[in-house]
A and B are shown apart, each in its own frame.
Chain A
Amino acid sequence: MADGNETNGASGNGAGDPGENGAAKKSPVTVLVEGAKAVKAQAAEEIKALKQPEKTDVWKSVLRVKHDETPRSRALGVLSNVFLHLHPAKINRDAVAYNYTWGMGGMTFYVYITLVFTGTLLMFYYHPSKVVAFRDILYLEHDVPFGKLLRNMHRWGAHLMVIMVELHMFRVFLTGSYKKPREFNWVVGVILLVLTLLLSFTGYLLPDDQLGFWAVTVGTNMARATPLLGHDGPFGRQFGMTPFNDVRFGLLGGSIVDSNALLRAYIWHCVAIPIIASAFMVVHFWRVRKDGGISGPAPVQLESEMKEPRKI
């Protein structure tokens, strides 16, 4: 150490006064050179991350454990898989306190189950076609036994689910539960929020009434302004986009909100998005458990629960 200091002093401060501010004052050239070196080091780091993605924080956050080629790792892959561990065997008392969790995640799931059930029943009386869709809604409202109840459960449940998902997100944010090691579950949660909003949006068109029709007209017209992929968006025209080949056309199956759009909304709403959302929910719940349960301070242990240390 002493050797190194001496050589530094001899080469660096030989010309100027070696006493005060020798280390703190740097010429702009030195600062530039150091900055360039830092950028270079960072670039080298990033290239390393590209070559060995399994060493990056993102990779570790997604996969949670090392996946080496060892018998133990392979056994764990089977033993700790999603389907055996959807729900924890036991949970910490503090983790289920309503004033901490608000129960929003669980209640959102409960509402989702209700929506799947009532939605499936509504499908028995609804035809996703331009001629009869609105007639079926009137039929459900006025003649189908319990049709009005089912439709309103589905409608209000949908509103409730959006509100609850947002409150759940708010709680997770307030309690800092998105922090390590739960970053990936936060990402899954954001995807689930988007899927919830998409479910809400696609369901809006299905009654085929004036409200839903114009809401979807407005909503899909926003897609016209997508950069590159929308015909009114930045560089869209230069990219060759017209109302007949842009992203809005792909969403609607046509250039106007018509029977194709109704059918597509129906399929996305009733089949595709629920399947995708269910898969993400499975991962979401499993990761809550695998990331160490619901976040919170260290568990409190009551005196009555304490066991005498075993004497041997």
Chain B
Amino acid sequence: MPNPTVETPPGANPPESKSKPGIAGALRNIFTADDPDPQKAIARRRRFVMAGILGFLGVNLLMFLRFFFPRTLFEPKTKFLIGYPSDFGFGVDTKFQNQYRIWVVRNTEGIFVISAICTHLGCTPDWKASENKFKCPCHGSGYDPEGVNFEGPAPRPMDRAHVEVTPEGQIEVDLSRLYRWPKGERSEFNDLGAIVRV
């Protein structure tokens, strides 16, 4: 307990200074040895060391989590050419299913590309030509020839990939740009690039 009657020496910090100390000041405060209560000085130092350790481990955890998200992928190309519009007749064409996991569909409006991923849980549905529908083998979702769901647990029609005609006249598909029609929302199927009108 400092004696209030004694004047504080000019070098020492006045105890009632409210201004925030800088980092150097804070460190000096933590590691100062001449505290009237040595227990408090020890507790301060321990808190500092513990904060350092926890901070280090926290940063390590963030690094650990980031590690699981690779920068480079060795996956199939998402942008590719599938041929000329005249190659596709009316109806569903399954010839790219194995290579690119897509179906090319032509109807009276034009040619569009369905991403062959069931909107329920991501299996590949089968094209049943005799029943004129897509049927998912995993949980039984059914889609009509334009990929619109009509039975089973699927929540929305299958997504369509971006298509455009290159200057050479071929159709280029971009699977990384998808057009969706979530239930109760606006259909993106008529957007520019969702369909090649021929």
Contacts and interface: CB of A to CB of B under 8 A. Distances in A.
A222 interface: yes
A250 B122 contact: no
A170 to B, nearest CB: 29
Nearest to B122: A221
A255 B123 contact: no
A222 B73 contact: no
Interface of B: 65, 68-70, 73-75, 121-123, 138
16 contacts: A217-B121, A217-B122, A218-B138, A221-B121, A222-B121, A224-B122, A251-B68, A253-B68, A254-B70, A254-B73, A254-B75, A255-B73, A258-B74, A258-B75, A259-B74, A260-B70
A310 B136 CA distance: 79
B122 A218 contact: yes
Contacts of A204: none
A256 interface: yes
Contacts of B123: 214, 217-218
A260 B68 CA distance: 11
Judged by DSSP, the binding face of B is: loop
Contacts, number: 32
A249 interface: yes
A129 interface: no
Judged by DSSP, the binding face of A is: helix
Given A218-B138, A249-B69, A254-B70, 8 more contacts: A217-B121, A221-B122, A250-B65, A250-B68, A250-B69, A256-B75, A258-B74, A259-B74
A253 B73 CA distance: 8
Nearest to A264: B68
A273 to B, nearest CB: 15
Contacts of A255: 73, 75
Contact of A214 (B73, B75, B138): B138
A3 to B, nearest CB: 42
A200 interface: no
